[in-house]
Amino acid sequence: MKRILRVENLSIEFHDHALAEKVVTDLNLDIFEGEIVGLVGESGSGKSLTAMAAAGLLSRHDIKKSGIIDFDGTDMLSAERAELRKVQGNKLSVIFQEPMTSLNPLKKIGWQVEESMKIHMPEMTASERKNRALEVLLQVELKEPERVYNSYPHQLSGGMRQRVMIAAAMAITPKLLIADEPTTALDVTVQMEIIELLKDIRKTYGTSILFISHDLSLVSILCDRVAVMKNGVIVESGNVREIFDFPKHEYTKKLIASIPVVEL
Amino acid sequence: MKKTEKHNYNLILGIVLTAIVLIPAVIGIFYTPYDTESMNLALKMASPSFSHPMGCDNYGRDIFSRIMKGSSITFLIGVGTVFWGSLIGTLVGAFTAYYGGVVDEILMRVNDVIFSFPSLLLALVFVAILGPGTYQVLFALAIAFIPSYARVVRGEFLRQKSMDYVQLARLAGAKDLRIMFVHILPNIRKVLISSILIGFNNAVLAEAGLSFLGIGVSPPKASLGSMLSDAQTYLFSKPELALFPGLTIIIMVLGISLISKEVA
Ligand SMILES: Nc1ncnc2c1ncn2[C@@H]1O[C@H](COP(=O)(O)OP(=O)(O)OP(=O)(O)O)[C@@H](O)[C@H]1O
Ligand SMILES: [Mg+2]
């Protein structure tokens, strides 16, 4: 299997206060083709920052990064914007936690789903783009894709919007999908549907997924491997089953113990 | 958003008042019943009559014609001022907010300094440098207005820039200009439109003020301000000379401000 993402000794430091603050320390993470990897940890442990760095979005003057992030041959830590742009929305897509704010309130869904095609495939005609948009909207199990295509974000529910986000992310079939807590804002039943959808996407397209969550139970359903993160450090990582059955680190044990047991 | 009945009345009243002034003003650009600059001593201080509905001034010029011409000049100065002021101000605000950094710091400090003077005072300084005249007034007011637009747009852009949909536009691979003007700009339209309308009013009042002081539009050209200025001498003997241009200014400003409250 081919390695699609390699993160080596990643450290991230904030320099926006008098005292520098290290929020990610010596982090190592690999993702192989077609693999779903979970990144779990409590709030503030540095999951989102790691994801942003991997997506090439962490280019603020007051943030210092070191280490290696190699995504399919592109150096995501130090490549120029122009080079990152060729990768972003093309080989790599991201979905965020809040489906309410992730969509531009003034643009129709269709326009937003087509954005990455407009940017990366200028040779596509308007009707080809629309066909592809309708196809992915159908794939994320939105009924009446034509109606959704012509809707504005405020006309859709949270769950529908998150499906739209996934459709937009998949329109151009990326090699890696980074999903930063994509189900946290949704209620439990919708959460499970989205998890199933992500599984389908991997099956259909062979897309690798970095699934960020603080919910170990979701990770155990969806992921092949998992990395447990605390205070900017990965304390334990490995196969999901192994970690669940034989957690070594105290923090992992605590996380597992805190999963509410649901009697079925 | 649901508008109450009362709000709609305000809007309609605003549009009606604005139209009362605007329609003659627009016609006045191309046509006036009488020549507005040549004198006719036979009609000096003529009282309102059928052929001169507002009477004639101290040079025997038809006041109604001069109001038409004067409000068209005032109107053009207002439109020109907000056009250039908001265009340049928007560009400055958008770029400084989007890129931040040292340029932003410097420009905003300069802006703060300029902003701390009332714009009428600034315009006065510029007119003093450039000399009186229609285009000089327009130019001076436009420059004096840039900082306030830059400030409003910068604030709105900063707010939008941190929102998820903007991050996602970056992650779709969109170029900076596209993000700024296709993704973000439409989302600040309400604030922009209402500050354009308020700016128009301020420009009208500023033009009147400058011309009243005798350093704006210069005689024999008519502007609402210069007509008021000319009327001072005859304020008690022939108050219509001041009354009509004064009323025109009030109606125009009132109409626009009613509209601006409704669109915001
Ligand atoms: N501007 C900043 N200056 C200093 N520290 C910051 C700044 N922004 C974020 N941090 C810190 O970085 C750490 C990691 O943040 P991050 O968003 O990656 O956490 P997370 O694991 O995604 O948490 P959550 O589950 O709440 O999303 C946090 O402890 C936060 O306090
Ligand atoms: Mg996070």
pLDDT at B262: 84
Question: Which distant-in-sequence residues (6+ apart) come within 8 Å of B129 by Cβ?
Answer: none
Q: How far is B183 from chain A, CA to nearest CA, in Å?
A: 7
* Binary contact (B187, A61; C-beta < 8 A): no
pLDDT band at A111 (very low <50, low <70, confident <90, very high): very high
Phi then psi dihedrals of residue B55, to 5 deg: 80, -170
Q: Dig out the tokens for B66 from the structure.
A: 């001069």
CA distance B262 to B190: 10
* Binary contact (A101, B164; C-beta < 8 A): yes
Q: Give the rounded percent of residues in chain A with a pLDDT score beyond 70.
A: 98
A144 within ligand 1 shell (Cβ under 6 A):
no
Question: Which distant-in-sequence residues (6+ apart) come within 8 Å of A32 by Cβ?
Answer: A1, A2, A3, A4, A208
Helix axes A188-205, A158-170, angle to 10 degrees: 10
Mean pLDDT of A217-227: 93
Using alpha carbons only, what angle is made at residue A60 by residues A56 and A63, rounded to the nearest 5 degrees?
95
Q: What is the A90 CA–ligand 1 centroid distance (Å)?
A: 27
pLDDT at B185: 96
**Exposed/middle/buried for B244, CB within 10 Å: 0-12, 13-18, 19+?**
buried
Chain B residues in contact with A115 (beta carbon < 8 A): 169, 172, 174
pLDDT at A228: 94
Q: Global pTM?
A: 0.85
Q: What is the A13 CA–ligand 2 centroid distance (Å)?
A: 16
CA distance B232 to A215: 78
User: Among B164, B173, B174, whose Cβ lies nearest the Cβ of A102?
Assistant: B164
Contact A224, A35 (CB under 8 A): yes
Asked whether the predicted pLDDT for residue A47 surpasses 90, the reply is yes
Question: Which distant-in-sequence residues (6+ apart) come within 8 Å of B160 by Cβ?
Answer: B166, B184, B187, B188
CA distances from residue B227 to B57, B62, B127, B215 in whole angstroms, order as listed = 10, 12, 19, 13
pLDDT at B7: 65
Q: Whose atoms come closest to the Cα of A23: which ligand?
A: 1
Chain A residues in contact with B173 (beta carbon < 8 A): 85-90, 116, 119-120
Residues whose beta carbons lie less than 5 angstroms from ion ligand 2: A 48
Q: What is the A4 CA–ligand 1 centroid distance (Å)?
A: 26
Q: Whose CA is nearest to atom 31 of ligand 1?
A: A44
pLDDT band at A23 (very low <50, low <70, confident <90, very high): very high
Among A48, A97, A104, A109, most B C-beta atoms within 10 A, so best to mutate, is A104
Asked whether the predicted pLDDT for residue A206 surpasses 60, the reply is yes
pLDDT at B37: 83
What are the boundaries of each domain within chain B? 59-263
pLDDT per residue as tens digits for the range B221-239: 888 888 888 888 888 888 8
Asked whether the predicted pLDDT for residue A12 surpasses 90, the reply is yes
Going by the DSSP 8-state scheme, the letter that residue B68 receives in this structure is H
Q: Pairing state of beta strands A21-32 and A36-41?
A: unpaired
A41 within ligand 1 shell (Cβ under 6 A):
yes
Give the strands of the sheet with A233-239, arranged side by side: A92-95, A176-180, A208-213, A36-41, A225-230, A233-239
Q: Whose atoms come closest to the Cα of A27: which ligand?
A: 1
Question: Which distant-in-sequence residues (6+ apart) come within 8 Å of A244 by Cβ?
Answer: A216, A220, A256
Q: Within chain B, which residues score under 50 in pLDDT?
A: 1
Beta bridge partners of A13: A22, A64
Closest residue by Cα to residue A89 from A167, A34, A182, A169: A169
A22 within ligand 1 shell (Cβ under 6 A):
no
Q: What is the B67 CA–ligand 1 centroid distance (Å)?
A: 63
Lowest mean pLDDT, pick from A171-175, A188-192, A218-222: A188-192
A175 within ligand 1 shell (Cβ under 6 A):
no
Report the length, in residues, of chain B: 264
Q: Which long-range contacts (CB under 8 A, 24 or more apart) does A150-155 make?
A: A150/A108, A150/A109, A150/A110, A151/A108, A151/A109, A152/A105, A152/A106, A152/A107, A152/A108, A152/A109, A153/A100, A153/A103, A153/A104, A153/A105, A153/A109, A154/A105
* Binary contact (B164, A85; C-beta < 8 A): no
pLDDT band at A85 (very low <50, low <70, confident <90, very high): very high
CA distance A57 to B158: 17
Q: Tokens 């709030």 identify what position?
A: A43
Is pLDDT larger for residue A153 or for residue B108? A153
Q: Return the amino acid letter for B251.
A: I
Q: Return the amino acid letter for A182.
A: P
pLDDT at B101: 82
Q: What is the A24 CA–ligand 1 centroid distance (Å)?
A: 9
Chain A residues in contact with B170 (beta carbon < 8 A): 57, 88
Peptide bond into A174 cis (omega under 30): no
Contact B52, B46 (CB under 8 A): yes
* Binary contact (B173, A120; C-beta < 8 A): yes
pLDDT at A261: 67
Helix, strand, or coil (residue B5): helix
User: Among B101, B163, B186, whose Cβ lies nearest the Cβ of A101?
Assistant: B163
A185 within ligand 1 shell (Cβ under 6 A):
no
Q: Tokens 């002081």 identify what position?
A: B213
pLDDT per residue as tens digits for the range B190-201: 999 999 999 999
pLDDT band at A4 (very low <50, low <70, confident <90, very high): very high
The mean pLDDT value of chain A amounts to 91
Residues A116-148 as b/e (b if ≥16 CB within 10 A, e otherwise) read: bbbbbeeebeeeebbebbbebbebbebeebeeb
CA distance A100 to A86: 27
Q: Is B59-263 a domain of CATH 1.10.3720.10? A: yes
pLDDT at A108: 95
Q: Give the rounded percent of residues in chain A with a pLDDT score beyond 90.
A: 69
